[in-house]
């Protein structure tokens, strides 16, 4: 094997009978040296994936195949000290997982990580180089700092309790909970509810077709927030003494306000010095401005 | 500015709601990106055609005799102890006619928009395995898209999620189309329609990602 292709892995426990794919070494646990800004692709369709950033120049993987299987089909491939690694669970030619696994991966904090799951839950903590997470039905949770964060889930719930430069979240049915900060945030669902639990977003756009969108907390001064639904209710539970100009456009939704007369559709209400800008648009979703 | 960035604010761009700097950035991107330029063109055309829709569509005149004959032949069905009574001067037969006219109008609008969105989405799908060929661009969008997904051998549960959410989006699109037909110059409605179509695209694209390899 060419040294450039050598997989530098300290194998703690080699796995038995799964046939390795070219360039891949099946292992149960392992460690590889990696550059600080390493890129990882992690594939695990069933089970769980947990990734944490740490202050070391290595990737450390521990994992167990669920159900006591000895044919876990786990692989890790890369290059000593390299900038790119692939790890995860093999899939069959038909794209089916060979087995479910719980993977616990530690990566240099500035790593860029791409994860794909089907039903496996994904949990990432403090990985700052960029995250691209995809799940069909598994839940996704991100915490710590995640400077560039993209999460897409069809049916799984998404929880982002992280500080980001920019974040983008898309789901179909999955619910989204945000609690953190970002310069730019864009969240979109079809029917999943979106809850923004406080946080600070300089520019934020929250959209759903039928899901409700609820903000609980303050809108930062100078913030620019946009809420749009087709029929989902939009509720702002604002902290005391908000400073925002809230414009409302709705074609069939009821508008209620606990901050004085509710603005008519196409109108706006100025709260405090009106510093932040909030635009709410619904087709027939109700709009409520409430005191928290 | 990347293609994804542009797509995320495309509806605001088309509705002329972007701030100057952002608009300039989009325009600069469009100047160098044929794909996004083509998408903007397609959406602009859709909006133009939506605005040009008639406020109502008359059903064909020869429809009525058959309907009338069918109504005469239909048995009378009791609806309960306190039957609904029409207002004086408004014969039930005219109410039925009005309902039929509404159905015809809705069907026409739905067909029109499905064709339009079909063309747009078919363009997007051209690069996908099993995507609709140009000759099939006018088939109902959902069928083509779902067929493409099925051909990619996605798990049935993924297909079910897509179908469920497509149905949600399609209801929203139909409602927006109907509202836009009533008020064709309403830019806000047009913008919402584009935005909802975009979500439809994104849903399909999201499902396609399920098949991407590791």
B207 touches chain A (CB under 8 A): yes
B21 touches chain A (CB under 8 A): no
A173 touches chain B (CB under 8 A): yes
Cα dist. B118→A130, B135, B149, B155, B169 in Å? 35, 12, 15, 24, 14
Nearest chain B residue to A93, by CA: B213
User: Is the pLDDT higher at B36 or at B211?
Assistant: B36
Q: State the smallest CA–CA distance between residue B130 and chain A in angstroms.
A: 16
Chain A residues whose CB is inside 8 A of the B162 CB are 154, 172
What is the model's pLDDT at position B118? 44
φ/ψ region of A130 (left if φ > 0, alpha if ψ in -120 to 50, else beta) reads left
What is the enclosing helix (H) or strand (E) of A228?
A: strand A224-229
**pLDDT of B85 over the 80 cut:** no
Q: Are B168 and A88 within 8 A, CB to CB?
A: no
Least confident of A106-115, B17-26, B41-50: B41-50
8 Å CB contact between A278 and A227: yes
B25 touches chain A (CB under 8 A): no
Nearest chain A residue to B158, by CA: A136
Q: What is the mean pLDDT of residues B178-193?
A: 91
Q: Which of B155, B169, B192 sits opposite A281 (nearest CB)?
A: B192
Number of H helices and number of E strands within chain B? 9, 0
Nearest chain A residue to B210, by CA: A136
How many Cβ atoms sit within 10 Å of the Cβ of residue B41? 11
Q: Are B179 and A251 within 8 A, CB to CB?
A: yes
What is the model's pLDDT at position A287? 96
B89 touches chain A (CB under 8 A): no
Q: Are B202 and A188 within 8 A, CB to CB?
A: yes
Q: What number is the ipTM of this complex?
A: 0.83
Q: What is the pLDDT along chain A (292 residues), one digit of tens a residue?
A: 333 333 434 333 333 333 433 333 444 566 778 888 889 999 999 899 999 999 999 899 888 876 555 556 778 888 777 788 888 887 777 677 777 888 999 999 999 999 999 999 999 999 999 999 999 999 999 999 999 999 999 999 999 999 999 999 999 999 999 999 999 999 999 999 999 998 899 999 999 999 999 999 999 989 999 999 999 999 999 988 899 999 999 999 999 999 988 888 888 999 999 899 999 999 999 999 999 8
Q: Which of A136, A186, A190 sits opposite B203 (nearest CB)?
A: A190
Nearest chain B residue to A248, by CA: B188
Average pLDDT over chain B reads: 67
Q: Are A210 and B176 within 8 A, CB to CB?
A: no
Cα dist. A263→A259, A289, B99 in Å? 10, 10, 35
Q: Are A137 and B161 within 8 A, CB to CB?
A: yes
B155 touches chain A (CB under 8 A): yes
What is the model's pLDDT at position A31? 77
Question: A39: which 2 tokens?
Answer: 């890129």
Q: Rounded to whole angstroms, how far apart are CA atoms B197 and B124?
A: 13
Nearest chain A residue to B212, by CA: A116
B211 touches chain A (CB under 8 A): yes
pLDDT digits (tens, 9 = 90+) for B151-176: 777 788 888 898 899 999 999 999 99
A86 touches chain B (CB under 8 A): yes
Question: A96: which 2 tokens?
Answer: 């089916």
Q: What does pTM read for this prediction?
A: 0.70
Q: Rounded to whole angstroms, how far apart are CA atoms A88 and A224?
A: 40
pLDDT digits (tens, 9 = 90+) for B88-143: 444 555 555 565 555 555 545 544 444 444 444 444 333 333 333 322 333 345 55
What is the model's pLDDT at position B71? 54
What is the model's pLDDT at position B214? 47
Beta bridge partners of A181: A163, A200
């Amino acid at each position: 094997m060419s040294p450039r292709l050598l997989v530098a892995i300290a194998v703690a426990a080699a796995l038995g009978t799964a046939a390795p794919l070219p360039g891949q070494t099946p292992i149960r646990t392992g460690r590889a040296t990696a550059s600080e800004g390493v890129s990882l692709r992690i594939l695990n369709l069933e089970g769980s994936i947990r990734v944490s950033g740490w202050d070391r120049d290595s990737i450390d993987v521990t994992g167990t195949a669920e159900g006591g299987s000895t044919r876990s089909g786990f692989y890790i491939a890369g290059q000593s000290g390299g900038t790119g690694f692939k790890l995860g669970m093999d899939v069959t030619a038909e794209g089916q997982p060979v087995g479910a696994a719980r993977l616990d991966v530690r990566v240099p904090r500035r790593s860029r990580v791409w994860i794909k799951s089907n039903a496996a839950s994904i949990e990432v903590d403090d990985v700052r180089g960029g995250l691209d997470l995809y799940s069909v039905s598994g839940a996704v949770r991100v915490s710590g700092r995640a400077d560039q964060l993209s999460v897409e889930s069809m049916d799984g719930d998404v929880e982002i309790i992280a500080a980001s430069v920019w974040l983008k979240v898309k789901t179909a049915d999955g619910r989204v909970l945000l609690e953190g900060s970002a310069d730019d945030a864009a969240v979109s669902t079809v029917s999943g509810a979106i809850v923004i639990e406080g946080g600070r977003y300089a520019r934020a756009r929250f959209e759903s077709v039928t899901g409700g969108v609820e903000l609980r907390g303050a809108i930062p001064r100078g913030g620019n927030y946009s809420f749009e639904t087709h029929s989902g209710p939009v509720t702002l539970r604002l902290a005391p003494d908000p400073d925002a100009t809230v414009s409302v456009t709705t074609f069939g939704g009821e508008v209620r306000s606990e901050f004085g007369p509710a603005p008519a559709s196409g109108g706006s209400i100025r709260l405090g010095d009106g510093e932040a800008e909030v635009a709410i648009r619904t087709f027939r979703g109700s709009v409520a401005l409430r005191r928290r | 500015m990347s293609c994804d960035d542009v797509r995320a604010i495309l509806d605001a761009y088309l509705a002329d709601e972007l701030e100057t700097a952002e608009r300039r950035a989009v325009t600069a991107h469009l100047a160098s990106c044929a794909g996004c330029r083509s998408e903007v063109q397609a959406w602009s055309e859709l909006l133009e055609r939506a605005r040009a829709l008639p406020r109502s569509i008359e059903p064909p005149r020869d429809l009525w005799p058959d309907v009338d004959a069918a109504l005469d032949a239909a048995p009378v069905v009791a609806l309960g102890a306190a039957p609904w009574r029409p207002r004086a001067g408004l014969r039930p037969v005219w109410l039925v006619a009005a309902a039929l006219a509404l159905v015809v109008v809705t069907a026409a609008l739905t067909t029109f928009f499905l064709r339009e969105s079909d063309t747009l989405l078919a363009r997007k799908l051209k690069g996908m395995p099993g995507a609709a060929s140009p000759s099939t661009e006018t088939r109902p969008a959902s069928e083509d898209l779902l067929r493409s997904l099925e051909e990619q051998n996605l798990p049935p549960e993924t297909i079910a999620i897509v179908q469920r959410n497509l149905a949600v989006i399609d209801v929203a699109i139909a409602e927006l189309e109907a509202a836009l037909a009533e008020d064709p110059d309403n830019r806000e409605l047009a913008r919402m329609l584009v935005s909802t179509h975009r979500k439809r695209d994104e849903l399909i694209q999201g499902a396609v990602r399920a098949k991407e390899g590791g």
